[in-house]
Structure 1
């Protein structure tokens, strides 16, 4: 089961590593989008969130204080859902639908990250570099 947990962690963090890379390599486009959502300072937010996601994803992937990495993802995902994907503010039906999908995706991933946190804390993640930062049950 340890290998299955590791495969699950790899699959889980791929989205965050790709998104972090986008934040750090397509900063201008991401900054414009962030500004359009009213988040200021936009550029610093894009770069900071890119680094935050990358660090969190690597912690989860390596099991190096994976519980901390999972909580970092929750801290990123919940504000992202409400600030960047506030579908209820959109007037265009297609845009509203796309933003609702992104909003729900962020909430679902936050839920998954909380489960990852619990699994790290319970010692059920196997093949980890360290024990959980926040201890075990």
Structure 2
């Protein structure tokens, strides 16, 4: 079963590596959207979260303190859901629906990250290090 966990980690972490590339290579446009949603210091926040999710994604994939990497992703996902995808503030039905989907996606990914945190804390399987929090 370790190989199944490894494949899942790769698929899960790759999502965040792709997102991190967007944060770091398309900073201006992503920061513009963040600013429009009320995020303070949007350019800095975009860069910092790009690094955060890159580290989290790599950590999950490689099994380098995967528990810490999983928590980095949770700490990114939950505030992002609330700050960036506050569907309850939108009045346009189409925008509201789109933001609700994104909000639910981020919350679900945060749940998956917490589940991975538990896995790493109990039985990391195919990792380069043991858990930091155990």
TM-score (norm 1): 0.96
| Secondary structure at the counterpart of residue 130 of structure 1 | coil
Provide the residue aligned with 1:112 in structure 2. Answer: 112
Query: Whole-Å Cα distance in 1 between the matches of residues 90 and 18 of structure 2?
Result: 26
Deviation at 1:113, TM superposition (A): 0.3
Provide the residue aligned with 1:130 in structure 2. Answer: 129
Query: Whole-Å Cα distance in 1 between the matches of residues 131 and 23 of structure 2?
Result: 28
Deviation at 1:112, TM superposition (A): 0.3
Q: Answer yes or no: is 1:76 the counterpart of 2:65.
A: no
User: Number of aligned pairs?
Assistant: 134
Please give the root-mean-square deviation of Cα atoms over the aligned residues, in Å.
0.6
Q: Which runs of 4+ in 1 moved over 3 A?
A: none
Q: Deviations over 1:28-85 (max 9, x none)?
A: 1001101100111000000000000000111111101000000110000000000000
Query: Whole-Å Cα distance in 1 between the matches of residues 27 and 38 of structure 2?
Result: 16
Deviation at 1:23, TM superposition (A): 0.4
Query: Whole-Å Cα distance in 2 between the matches of residues 113 and 74 of structure 1?
Result: 6
Deviation at 1:126, TM superposition (A): 1.0
TM-score (norm 2): 0.98
Provide the residue aligned with 2:90 in structure 1. Answer: 90
Query: Whole-Å Cα distance in 2 between the matches of residues 51 and 117 of structure 1?
Result: 19
Deviation at 1:116, TM superposition (A): 0.2
